[in-house]
Each structure stands twice: as structure tokens, then as C-alpha cells.
Chain A
């Protein structure tokens, strides 16, 4: 099972830069196992925006928003990951929607979900975004 991560523009490029992207990878690798992590290309401060930012999700332009996001979708598909981890709520909404719209095979999951899953503390009602392969783990 492979996991990739979306670098949120707001957190990485626009605020704290590559050091926070490294912190993010430290946490993600600790949670999913280093051998199960795969980066998108490009990444960190050079990453593409998912298309959920700047108010796009509320702008009433779904066609254009999907076209914008197709770049992100293809980037995720290229990694072959089963899960895309999104540490920002907007990224989660947009990438989850992209996966449905373009019929992707990956799941889109909040970082907090996987941290709790790894700690063995994820409750039954907190698993909406897990696929069937992880839905029952640790229950």
C-alpha cells in the first residue's frame, strides 16, 4: 500500500517553506512507514496547487476548477499511491472531488486520520475517508 502527500501551498510555499515540508514528511513516514511513502513530482515549495485555493471551491466554476485540478490528479495517479494525504481542509475537499470526478482509484484522507490510526486511537465514526483496506484496522 502506497501513500503520497499534498504539500498545501498555504502551509509550505506561502508560509513556512521547505523546512515544514520536511517536518510533514517526517510525520507521514513515521505514520505509514518510509518504504510505503512516495512523493509527487514536483513537490515541496515547487508543488502544484490542487485548485481548491483562492476561493475556487466557492467560485461557481466547477468545470474550470476540475480542469485546473487535472494536473494534480495526474500527478497523484503517476505515483500509483492508494492514498493521498491532505493536511489542509481545502486540499482535502478539492482532491477528494477530483478523485470522484476523474474516477481515480486513490482515497483522499486527512493527516489526522492516519496519525490516530497509527496510534491505535481512531474511533469507528472517524473513518469516513478510509478505503475498505484500512477501514477495519485497529477496531
Chain B
């Protein structure tokens, strides 16, 4: 019989990346409660990408394989969809672990597309990840609205209110609509019009997306959310409606 142990773990107890994440979470995100049942991995669409899956990622974190998990591109392939938490018998918060892996990466090691979307969003108070300015946005909305009023019978009095004070709903819009397919905004306006909704767009803080959050940058994420929330508060709207 062999006397060699099958698995050799490190001798000294290291300070693990996982422990730093646990310190941030209520109940430590249950990250020490894994039963290794594999339910998370069997229902995760990212399983197998970059030779990784959620259980493996968590086990590696538990074993202190910090270098490996921090350098794995898999943190950008998990969409943080939370299905694994939903099905996990222990409600283990793997996506929060992923978020924190993203957040400790230096900016120049994060995917360029996500970084530039965040940078563009920080440029204007619109928070548009496509860099649309307040003027661009107001112009597009007015232009499309005028076209519909002139050409579609029954919609001569269609509205797309901008910066209306005290409306019930403050509506966000994904930047791709005004920038690349503005006509896609019209059905939404018509539905709101038909039900008599009291709503408004804002010239500031209207963009629905937040790539600074996906980038894992807490400071920029907060700055975007604060700009958007301020836009809603400044107009005194009651409900902030984000369509995505």
C-alpha cells in the first residue's frame, strides 16, 4: 500500500482571495457551504468554456488556487445570471465571486469593449455607453416623433415627453435604439400613449445600460447609478422604469 497521500494541499494556511470576497457578503455568500453536488455546473451554459465550470471555479477558490482563478478568462464568460444560486441547495453566491475576480483585474487586462463602453458612459450625463450626448438624444427623439405625427394617422398627438416634471414614470432606453434603430422606440411610445401613461424621458441619465458594473469597477458603477438616480429625482418622477 502506498504511503503517499493522493492529494497534497499546501502546508500553511494562506489568506485566500475567496476569504476577502466572503468578508464583503452577508453570510459570506455561503462560499464555504458547497456540497460539491454539481447542480450548478450541470445547468450553467458557461460550463466547459475555458475548461471551467462554476463548481470547479469555487473549488479552486476554496483550495487557494488564486493565481489560476484570477488569470482565467472564464470570469468574462460567466454572465452572472444567477441560475447557479437559484438551483444550489446552499444558495452559494458564485456570481459574486466572479464579480470580484473581474473587479481586481487591472483596467488594461479587462476586455476592451467593456472598458470603452464604460468610458463612453462616463463622458456625458446621459450615461450612454455609445457616447450619445444630450443634444444627440433630444434631437433623435424629436425627429422621430415629428415623423410619426406627420405620417401615421391616429398618432397626430403622440407624445415622447422630455424632462417633464412630476411624471409617474421616468423611462430609460437602451442606447442602441436612439443610436442605431430609432424607429424601435416608437412602438413603446404608442403603447404608453394608448394606456394613457404619465411618463417622461430625461435629457440626462436616460441610458439603460451600465457597462461599468459589468466591468467590475465599483467607483464608476456607483457614479453612473448616482447620475441616473439624480436625473430621476431632479424631475420628481415616482417610478424609475428601466427596460432591461
Contact = CB atoms under 8 A, between A and B. Distances in A.
Interface of A: 8-10, 13-14, 45-49, 51-56, 58-61, 64-65, 67-69, 71-72, 88-90, 93, 110, 112-113, 115-116, 119, 121-123, 125-126, 128
A13 B82 contact: yes
B86 interface: yes
B188 to A, nearest CB: 5
A89 B154 contact: no
Given A13-B86, A88-B243, 16 more contacts: A10-B244, A13-B82, A48-B83, A53-B79, A54-B78, A55-B214, A59-B111, A60-B112, A61-B76, A64-B49, A67-B49, A68-B45, A68-B77, A112-B184, A112-B187, A128-B184
- Secondary structure dominating the interface of B: helix
B199 interface: no
A45 B183 contact: no
B54 to A, nearest CB: 12
B1 interface: no
A97 B176 CA distance: 15
Given A48-B43, A89-B176, A116 B113 contact: no
Contacts of B43: 48
**A13, A46, A54, A116: most-surrounded residue (chain B CB, <10 A):** A54
Contacts of B174: 89-90
Interface residues of B, number: 45
21 contacts: A8-B244, A9-B79, A13-B81, A45-B86, A48-B43, A49-B79, A53-B79, A55-B117, A60-B112, A60-B113, A61-B76, A68-B45, A68-B79, A72-B45, A90-B244, A112-B187, A113-B187, A115-B191, A119-B191, A126-B187, A128-B181
A49 B244 CA distance: 14
B154 A55 contact: no
B83 A13 contact: yes
